[in-house]
Amino acid sequence: MAIQSVDNLITALSAGQSNRYDWNKITGSASYASGRNYDLSQLSGLPVANSYAGTALDWRTCDEATGNGTDIFGLPHGGNVSASIKHLLNGSAWSTAATGVPATLILVDMQGYWPGINMNSSSAQTLTGTPTLRYTNGAGCRLYLVARATTGAVAHNIAISYSNQTPTSGRSLPVTVAATASAIVPHIVHSGTAANNYGPFLPLASGDTGVSTVASVTLSAASGTASTAALCLVRPLAQITISVTGLMTEKDFMNQLPSLPIVKDGACLVWLLSAGAAVATLTTFSGSTEVVWG
């Protein structure tokens, strides 16, 4: 059963039905630009970096226990709890450098991804594999395209054919979506402050509230440099905003909205970073998550 009262919460905590995990990530040798979004799963630290392993354009499922089959990169949360329901109880985050604030961290459940999207091609790229999702027909799930190698300086737009939560196929992005030229690892390439940038998630067609699968990705022009990206299918769960250097921000999901987000069995938890200011190289972000089940 779900945690439905303070009494339920106390009972679950007293029975040891909770888990806390500390995480730490450090940005690489490139600085991050204000207003852009970045995928922290690719950074070194704890958990290990996500290499987006897999066969190009073929769906790769992600979960807590095995990661992507090569890297166990998601935040641990205590394993499956079968008939019980697990909730996110608390979260915290901070940065030890002035260059790390202000920023917003978004916690997502990564269902999986399609690796090896060729960013130096203007041809339609057909994606293969059938996603195995923790949410029926991808309800509430969103997409983002993240760089795996620095893209070229040629500007280009992104078009996607996807199936929504109905599921109805042949859905497309409702607006022009521009990728950032010379995007770096781990930049979510369509996010930023330029015209037609959207982030951290790709916009959906009117009436769509989720994505169940994707048929193809097409760029309007080759990026100009051999590079790849991964198209990720995730379910947003929660977010934390940090604004003061070295000061931990805590969020209580029992008493604050959104309240007690459900963490599905097998959830592969990943942080995304929305930079509110320029982030210098080798900036550290740290924090913790705590879950409870009942």
Q: What is the pTM of this model?
A: 0.97
Residues in the chain: 294
Report CA torsion sign: 177, 52, 235, 199.
negative
How high is the pLDDT of residue 258?
Answer: 75
Q: What is the mean pLDDT of residues 34-58?
A: 98
DSSP per position, 28-92:
-SS-B-TT-EEEGGGSEEESPPP---SSTTB-EE-BTTTBTSS---SBP-----TTS-EEEEEEE
Q: What is the structure's pLDDT at 196?
A: 98
In this prediction, residue 5 carries a pLDDT of 87
In this prediction, what percent of the chain has a pLDDT beyond 90?
92
pLDDT digits (tens, 9 = 90+) for 193-240: 999 999 999 999 999 999 999 999 999 999 999 999 999 999 999 999
In one-letter notation, the amino acid at residue 35 is G
Q: What is the pLDDT of residues 63-105, one digit of tens each?
A: 999 999 999 999 999 999 989 999 999 999 999 888 899 999 9
Q: Which residue has the tokens 């959104």?
A: 258
Question: If you average pLDDT over residues 123-138, what whole number do you get?
Answer: 97
Residue 1 pLDDT > 70: no
| Domain range annotation of the chain | 6-293
Dist. CA 174–CA 59, nearest whole Å: 24
Whether the predicted pLDDT of 2 surpasses 90: no
pLDDT at residue 115 greater than cutoff 90: yes
Q: Is residue 106 within 8 Å of residue 239, measured between CB atoms?
A: yes
Spatial neighbors of 217 by CB under 8 A, at least 6 apart, are: 114, 117, 124, 125, 127, 145, 158, 159, 160, 231
- Over residues 142-174, the pLDDT tens digits come to 999 999 999 999 999 999 999 999 999 999 999
**Tokens found for residue 172:** 């497309």
The Cα–Cα gap between 241 and 237 comes to 14
Q: Which two tokens stand for residue 27?
A: 């940005």
d(CA 81, CA 264): 9
